[in-house]
Structure 1
Amino acid sequence: MTRIGNSSFRMEHAVVSLRQDALVAESGSVLVFVEYEKNRPLPVPEAIRAAFAEIEGRPPAELSGNG
């Protein structure tokens, strides 16, 4: 988890080869909360923000890029 925005969050991914003992791939993804029927973004729910902060061990302000 690298960032939480108003309606989305960004995750970074790394693949490490145990055989090569090396990083072999990196990627990132942005996931957006959407109101499907209206095709509009929704705010990230507070429960999700709190869960990410607990998992990451960082306060929500640091995850939002505002801290």
Structure 2
Amino acid sequence: MKIPNELRRYVEGDRLIYRKKWEDVNFILVPSNVGRHWVVAKIDLVRWMIKVVDSARTLAVKANGVHAA
């Protein structure tokens, strides 16, 4: 399978707008919309952990559709 040059350059960190190589990245932030509610997942590439951050967490967590696993 041939990998397109643009994708290869992105992964290797060679693209001008993406200066960091993946080996130098400690974590990735992924915004996600659950229903009409936004949360952020922090993917820790060093510790192999995913943490979901919900800034609107209240006593009525079930009302926003976000549930802890």
TM-score by length of 1: 0.29
Structure number with the higher strand fraction is 1
Q: Which has the larger radius of gyration?
A: 2
